[in-house]
């Protein structure tokens, strides 16, 4: 595969298997195709819901003709680019309307497909339509009960899962001949006869030095696998699919762990790691508490900033109104003093013969009384202004304490109350 091909590989989504995936489920999928390959020599094969195309490619090395069908155009286009052997053909098509002629297929491979379809009967009818006389279908599906036990969240792509018994009943109702088994991943040992023998049965052996248990077939198999036909079935080869490299690595690991010194060393490391994890957990708890406290402080400083901003606005406005009122009263006092001086001047240079002197004197006394009243008001207002100024200075000091708070600077440097406080503080302090 060249660099361009690698760059256009399909992404692994967790549902459709691709060749870049390196997880253990690769063995589950490839093992099923390996069983199909043992039946495919010289046959016309249909790989329904072929996905990326790796399975059709494997079958194509043995079969005379392989047709891969999938509903997704992007996937089919990818398969056409990646797998180009002359006996491979990839078609866009629906499992409920397979794009193959009647009686044109000798072997149908349907792996992990039926659970994606709600209408199981129609799907099997389509398979039987395309099967030639003597044709067989090899089909698999996750056992609903076992699959849900290991996949608590379920699979959102599955429309109608079947239990193993439901799967068996469905196939029995549509085919005259069938063989049904189970599949799951294992690590262990394998014993098999050299050649097929009527007196040999499959079983799962479990246990150890304390005892052995024997279960027929695959114990707690997760996937159901069946070979079906309306004609007598060919010999079905079942067994273990082995990754020799992984087997060697696993047994090497187990051999190494049998050393008492290694076991003790691993136990010591495990204990240290456990203590490390516990220390990390305590640290996380402390950090969570600190975060909660910092969050509370942030909220407090935010509320305090907004409150101080409102107080500063109101105090600034009241001080400005008081200054304007003082200026107005001072002006009125100056006018009253001017009137008093004018009246007194009139008294000194005026004519008393016509009786006007007494009237001017009364007016002067009245103006003097008004002056005294205004002067008292000015003194009172000056006292109020001085008190307001002192209050404003105290408020500015509190504002500076909030603005200069390290937490406030660190957490709220760009908030609206912060900007407002800084601007008002600069105005009040002449900055």
Q: φ, ψ for residue 274 (rounded to 5)?
A: -60, -45
Q: What is the pLDDT of residues 168-226, one digit of tens each?
A: 999 999 999 999 989 888 877 777 777 777 777 788 888 776 777 888 888 888 888 99
What contacts 399, CB < 8 A, 6 or more positions away? Answer: 308, 312, 421, 424, 425
Q: Are 120 and 114 in contact (CB under 8 A)?
A: yes
Domain ranges of the chain: 3-239, 300-428
Residue with tokens 């002192």, as numbered in its chain: 390
pTM: 0.56
CA distances from 243 to 3, 28, 185, 186, 343 (A): 27, 12, 12, 12, 123
Average pLDDT over residues 376-390: 72
122 vs 363, residue with greater confidence = 122
Q: What is the pLDDT of residues 83-106, one digit of tens each?
A: 999 999 999 999 999 999 999 999
What pLDDT score was predicted for residue 29?
87
What pLDDT score was predicted for residue 215?
85
| pLDDT for 294 beyond 70 | yes
Which range (18-27, 90-99, 211-220, 398-407) has the least confidence?
398-407
* Superfamily of the domain at 3-239: Vaccinia Virus protein VP39 (3.40.50.150)
Percent of the chain with pLDDT over 70: 73
Nearest to 300 by CA among 159, 209, 387, 411: 411
């Amino acid at each position: 595969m060249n660099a361009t091909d690698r760059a256009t590989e399909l992404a692994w989504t967790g549902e459709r298997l691709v060749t870049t995936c390196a997880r253990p489920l690769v063995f589950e999928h490839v093992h099923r195709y390996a069983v199909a390959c043992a039946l495919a020599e010289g046959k016309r094969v249909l790989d329904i819901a072929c996905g990326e195309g790796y399975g059709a490619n494997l079958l194509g090395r043995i079969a005379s003709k392989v047709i891969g069908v999938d509903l997704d155009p992007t996937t089919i286009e990818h398969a056409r680019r990646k797998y180009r052997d002359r006996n491979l053909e990839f078609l866009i098509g629906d499992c409920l309307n397979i794009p193959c002629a009647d009686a044109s297929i000798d072997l149908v491979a349907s792996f992990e497909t039926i659970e994606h379809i709600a209408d199981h009967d129609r799907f099997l009818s389509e398979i039987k339509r395309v099967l030639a006389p003597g044709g067989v279908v090899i089909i698999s599906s996750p056992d609903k009960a076992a699959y849900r036990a290991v996949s608590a969240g379920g699979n959102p792509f599955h429309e109608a899962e079947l239990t193993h018994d439901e799967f068996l009943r469905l196939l029995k109702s549509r085919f005259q001949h069938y063989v049904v088994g189970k599949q799951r991943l294992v690590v262990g040992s394998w014993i098999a006869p050299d050649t097929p023998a009527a007196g040999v049965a499959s079983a799962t052996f479990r246990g150890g030095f304390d005892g052995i248990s024997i279960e027929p077939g695959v114990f707690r198999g997760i996937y159901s696998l069946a070979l079906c036909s309306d004609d007598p079935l060919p010999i079905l080869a079942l067994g273990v699919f082995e990754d020799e490299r992984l087997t060697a690595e696993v047994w090497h690991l187990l051999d190494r762990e049998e050393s008492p010194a290694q076991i003790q060393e691993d136990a010591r490391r495990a204990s240290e790691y456990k203590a490390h994890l516990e220390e990390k957990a305590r640290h996380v708890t402390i950090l969570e508490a600190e975060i909660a406290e910092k969050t509370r402080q942030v909220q407090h400083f935010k509320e305090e900033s907004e409150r101080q901003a409102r107080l500063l606005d109101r105090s600034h406005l009241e001080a400005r109104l008081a200054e304007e009122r003082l200026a107005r009263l001072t002006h009125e006092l100056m006018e009253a003093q001017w009137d008093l001086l004018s009246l007194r001047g009139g008294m000194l240079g005026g004519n008393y013969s016509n009786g006007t002197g007494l009237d001017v004197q009364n007016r002067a006394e009245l103006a003097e009384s008004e002056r005294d009243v205004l002067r008292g008001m000015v003194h009172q207002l000056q006292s109020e202004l001085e008190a307001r100024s002192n209050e404003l200075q105290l408020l500015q000091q509190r504002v500076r304490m909030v603005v200069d708070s390290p937490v406030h600077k660190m957490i709220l440097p760009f908030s609206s109350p912060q900007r407002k406080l800084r601007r008002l503080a600069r105005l009040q302090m002449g900055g």
